[in-house]
A and B are shown apart, each in its own frame.
Chain A
Amino acid sequence: MSVAELKKRHVAAMETVDALRERVKQKRQLLLDTDVKSYAKSQGTTPISFGSTDLVCCRTLLGHTGKVYSLDWTPERNRIVSVALDGRLIVWNALTSQKTHAIKLNCPWMRACAFAPNGQSVACGGLDSACSIFNLTSQVDKDGNIPIARVLTGHKGYVFSCQYVPDQETRLITGSGDHTCVLWDVTTGQRISVFGGELPSGHTADVLSVSINSSNSNMFVSGSCDATARLWDTRKASRAVQTFHGHGGDVNSVKFFPDGQRFGTGSDDGTCRLFDMRTGHQLQVYTRQHDANDNDVPIVTSIAFSISGRLFFAGYSNGDCYVWDTLVAEVVLNLGTLQNSHEGRISCLGLAADGSALCTGSWDKNLKIWAFGGHRKVI
């Protein structure tokens, strides 16, 4: 077939894709008969109301000398790993505020870190396009540093996100600026599967965030600069299970909802959204109130759900940390305006494994722990 004929076919195929996408969009619109807010209202859901001293900052973790970019809790509750622009990976006992490890990294430009399920290893990755693994039980070297146990190389772009597969010590998923996610075998350093890239239905821009479903660790979701989130089945890397449209900008953060059937997203468009994994429906948009004259809408940098899912935490570029009532879709608290709040952008946040505390990391170089310090009524 000549180039001219192929060009005609290409144009025709693009037109078909556009027409089908429009049909999908219209059919989906018809299926959106309600959102979470309207449904909850129809069921008489009582909005949450916090007293002024209910959620408090109960720890400030001091030690980083550069912007904090990422944090992760251990499954056994009290330890946190963080990376910052000072080129250090620090492991904290959040309860005592003590540092148990402070590792000087070869590459200071780290963007992601994660704790292994057994709490004995940590991973970090960033602008070195690789993911480095440290075994925290190793002997330190003569400089007092823990040697790198393994480096996961193969990405052709920066590593923006990493997470260990919850029930598997030896597997880790990364999201990268090369538009792919990769499932790694940490013990061998080999790539088990690549999600996206040359394959169809992959992201078409940098992958900024990944979240693995703790109810079904075969499933994970990724968020990208292509303004979509995509759902993947690790057993079938050839094609994304579903693509979620709706955001108007980079999807900076994705997190599974506690029930494992929904997930949340946070974006450069200033909104958070809740999507249904199975149907692909967008169930709710969480949009901040802002001045109509204000062109600078703060972007959502990071999100997390409380353990029941009733609270939806969102960190923003202006230092706000909104606590959304997931059901009523209203902001019930702004941790950014409380006493002892951060003085800069919230870059990362995460919930302790038992749900009793939230950790926030900021460009003000600190991490803070927030917990419920008010009177609790148990019903």
Chain B
Amino acid sequence: MSMTSSSGSTAGRVEAGEAARSDKQQQTTPPPPPPLPLPQARTGGFLGRHRLSAAITRLDQEILSLQEEINELETMDPSSAACQEVLLSMEGKPEPLLPVTRGPEDVSWDRWFQRVRSSRGHKWWTHKGSDFS
């Protein structure tokens, strides 16, 4: 998050330049210019406060939600429970893309390898089991 602030007035830099020029008459090396005044937000710091407040509110909400999560984690099942569910979810499910599958088999699974009538005349797709060249 960044705070917006306008750059400082140029007055400081002008004064520094004039100071350097006036000193030049007495010394060969001009003294370093006085430090520039610190940048001020145009509206006197309001914009910075507003953004910081908003950021703090978001962080406070995140703190609450993290604390909630920590509470949930106290009584949460370990990953083995979910892993078991993953395994069980596949049992008994027919799978058209596997060499070995539970039934029932649906004949339309093999439509990709059957004779297809298209609007441009017959298209013939080789039988299952053949090599495609």
Q: Is A40 interfacial (CB-CB < 8 Å)?
A: yes
Q: How far is the CA of A142 from the CA of B4 in the complex (A)?
A: 53
- Shortest C-beta distance, A251 to chain B (Å), equals 20
Determine the distance from Cα of A369 to Cα of B116 in the docked complex, in whole angstroms: 15
Q: Which residues of A contact B120 (CB under 8 A)?
A: 98
- Convert A296-310 into 0s and 1s, putting 1 for each residue whose CB lies closer than 8 angstroms to a CB of B: 000000000011111
- Min CB–CB distance A125 → chain B (angstroms): 29
A24 touches B73 (CB 8 A): yes
Contact in complex: B76, A354 (CB < 8 Å) = no
B76: nearest residue on chain A (CB-CB)? A279
B35 within 8 Å of A (CB atoms): no
Chain A 249-264 interface mask (CB, 8 Å, partner B; 1/0): 0000000011101100
Contacts of A200 in B (CB 8 A): 58, 61-62, 65
Chain B residue contacts of A373, Cβ below 8 A: 112-113, 128-130, 132
CA distance in complex: A34, B80 (Å)? 6
| Cβ contact within 8 Å between A310 and B98 | yes
Q: Which residues of A are found within 8 Å of B103, using beta-carbon distances?
A: 378-379
> Are A3 and B109 within 8 A (Cβ)?
no
Q: Does B9 contact A (CB under 8 A)?
A: no
The contact string, 1 if C-beta is below 8 Å from chain A, for chain B 94-122, is: 11111111111110111111001011100
Contact A58 to B99, CB < 8 A, known contacts A34-B83, A262-B82: no
Stretch of A12-20, A146-154, A166-174 with 4 or more beta carbons under 8 angstroms from chain B: A12-20
Complex Cα distance, B66 from A96, in Å, reads 53
Give Cα A14–Cα B63 distance, bound, in whole angstroms: 9
B86 at the A interface (CB under 8 A)? yes
Smallest CB gap from B77: residue in A: A279
Chain A contact-residue range equals 35 or more
Q: Per a CB cutoff under 8 Å, which of A6, A55, A274 touches B49?
A: A6
Complex Cα spacing A203 to B61, Å? 15
Assess whether A17 is in contact with B59, with CB atoms less than 8 Å apart: yes
CB-CB < 8 A to A33: which residues of B? 78-80
B96 contacts which of A10, A258, A274, A354 (Cβ < 8 Å)?
A354
Q: Is the beta-carbon distance between A327 and B86 smaller than 8 angstroms? A: yes
Inter-chain contact B89/A258, CB cutoff 8 Å: yes
> Which of A46-54, A112-120, A131-139, A342-350 is near enough to bind chain B?
A46-54
B86: A residues at CB distance < 8 A? 36, 257, 259, 262, 274, 283, 309, 326-327
Q: Is A181 an interface residue (CB 8 A)?
A: no
Chain A residues near B97 (CB-CB < 8 A): 55, 306-307, 311, 355-356, 358, 371-372
Please, which residues of chain B bring their CB within 8 A of the CB of A236?
none
Check B129–A53 contact: CB distance below 8 A: yes
Q: Is B11 an interface residue (CB 8 A)?
A: no
Query: Are A7 and B52 in contact (CB-based, < 8 A)?
Result: yes
Give B residues with C-beta under 8 Å from A: 45, 48-49, 52-53, 55-56, 58-63, 65-67, 69-70, 73, 76-87, 89-90, 93-106, 108-113, 116, 118-120, 123, 125, 128-133
**Smallest CB-CB A-B distances: 3 pairs:** A39-B83, A13-B59, A259-B89
16 contacts between A and B (CB under 8 A): A13-B59, A24-B70, A34-B80, A35-B79, A48-B99, A50-B99, A54-B99, A200-B62, A307-B95, A327-B87, A354-B109, A356-B97, A372-B97, A373-B112, A374-B129, A376-B101
